[in-house]
Structure 1
Amino acid sequence: MKITDIVHNYPDGSCLARGLCRVRSFVNESGIVVLLTDLGNKNDGQSVTNAVEHIIKSLQVLGVVMGPATFLEHYEREDPRGDTFDVVTVGSPGGTHWETISREEACRLIGCSLSELDERSWQNARIVAEADRLRFSRNRFVDSPYRGSNAVIKRRLEIDDGMISRAEVKALIGAGARERDLQCLLKRDLSIFAETYAQPDDEYICFSEFPLADGYVDFVVLTGRSRMDVILIEIKGADFNLLNADHYKEFNHKIHQAAGQLRNRLGHIYRELSTFRDHVHSVRARAERGELIHNAFMGPHDGLEVDPQKDINIRAVLIGGRTVDDRAESTKRHDYEHRFTPPIRIESWDTWIRRLQRS
């Protein structure tokens, strides 16, 4: 018979820190069995395993459990058949001892039906409400997203204020805009390329008209952690279809021409890779100091957490043309990207705009 079903606010051994677990006590002919269920993401302290000695002691001190009892540690899974159960013996020779038992053995030991163990604690409204009450009493903003520093928030707001809308970009693409018109729009808000390619999301520096070899690349994004990602982006207009309409379904000649130029510049980079790495890190450092070198556009964070002594990852993207047959073009892009070294990612304006998260 179940006599207790509560959320226990337990100490974890430190002065102030606490944790939460569900405690169910059962009495049967064998005595008292106490089921200690870890509450997963509702537990804001140590796990039941790491704090089990403190949990048991606090239950005894508070009088929730009186006299001899068997303590059973329990972790719930999505599928109840995957739950784990361990009989915990505190004060045994050699310290606390755990003995794993099966779900069926746990049910027999407790003397309950399987339906008792099948219930998920996160689906029990009373247990969830009590766990939340205790968590919020300790931290009024628990579960709130990390807000970042005031400087980061200020920069995010500045970026948001200057954003061009997805609808504005989509309208220009839909009108079959030429390359120059698209460049003029996209240069107004370089965060649009960070939104589509930067990772981590808020850690990036974007450039336009980035000098390289005997010319320049339309746009560049620097991002990443430890090893810096250098993303070279070349764009063409939206005034042609990505694939020709003839029997061969080849890429439009403008795509071939732009890809050839991009491959030549990538060749220049790889032939002098250490020189390029040093150069691009120098440009990064100047942008982080506030220089508007190559129209530098900083993300919300002051700088990138990258190591100038480590290799860089170089990626190349070519955006141009319109999609007519997505399936055929996807196959063609895949073959093209895997045929050349170094690879160039081909995107139509229709596939690229799907990446945008903004409204």
Structure 2
Amino acid sequence: MKVGIGRERRDGEKRVAATPETVLQLTALGVDVTVESGAGAASGYSDAAYEKAGAHVAGAFDATTFDVLCHVRPLSPELAATLPAGTITVGLASPASELPTVAALAAAQVTSFALELVPRISRAQSMDALTSQALVAGYRAVLEATIRFPRFFPLYMTAAGTIPPARVLVLGAGVAGLQAIGTAKRLGARVSAYDVRPASADEVTSMGGTFISLDLDAVEGAGGYATELAEDRAVRQRELLAPYVAKADVLITTAAIPGRPAPLLVTREMVAAMPAGSVVVDLAAETGGNVEGVLPGEDQLVPTSAGDGVVTLVGMRDAASAMASDASRLYAKNVANLLALMTTDGQVVPDCADEVVAGACLTSGGEVRHAPTAAALEGKN
């Protein structure tokens, strides 16, 4: 079977869905791998490295000629509509925000697998792209904050005086949040964190952070994610968080609910109450944002309510792509491991009796197999 790895077309996307390492893994399965020329250049992987690993490198890349098409960002509706029936696609699909593409994939009789939908169970950990990319994003968020924050992160005691450590607050203690906590702590900041899931308290502590309890525990849903709070409790949550936000020098928000808009955790007024020179980095900006008014890919200067300066509000976009080499290394392994699960004797044959395969399947046989996405499409129509 022919597996195609194309160059990503979306602006700002530097990752690639296969590396020379995973080409070796895929060809060992008995499939034929073709990589579009220049696909890995932004991630530091040359055409020569792909050829050495056993891939064909194609200057003219026609996505419609492959049995399996691997990608990073969601396909465009136009490309999805041209794929032959029976084509298999593997990649991030963002089904909640890419409904036209989902509809096109179903109409074209494409069997698509969305890595966001891989079940969070032990045997699927090596295919969990949300986790691998969140690891990169959480680390990057702290770096973005440090270059904008006009002070040191660590405590310094000098002959000229003492510089206190920065106070960092992380909202959301999933993979990205925990990585942000650990990174900020290693830089010497005083770190506190909040998550609506009480079980995350031990994880926050293990990373060197101080857990904030608001007595608003949520029920933990599938995959370890918190269920969305009712509106009245969400309002109360923001009220209880306000004094902690007001004391923070750096605020990093990471809360997300797969397939749903990001929960609003911080209002514009809460940002304005922070000290002058503070920095807010919202990792959920591309899915609506945890911070009111955030814009993905843009920095905004929010005047403080005290009138003594501004707070920098950073809407992260393509966070993992900003560290394209290692992000691609991890992501490509996720893709290759899922393909390996579905490949026997050189043939990619998805077995929907397997809970991992069934869980990751977005469209098949002309139908949308992911119930929430199917319902969203019904509502749109």
TM-score normalised by length of structure 2: 0.24
TM-score normalised by length of structure 1: 0.25
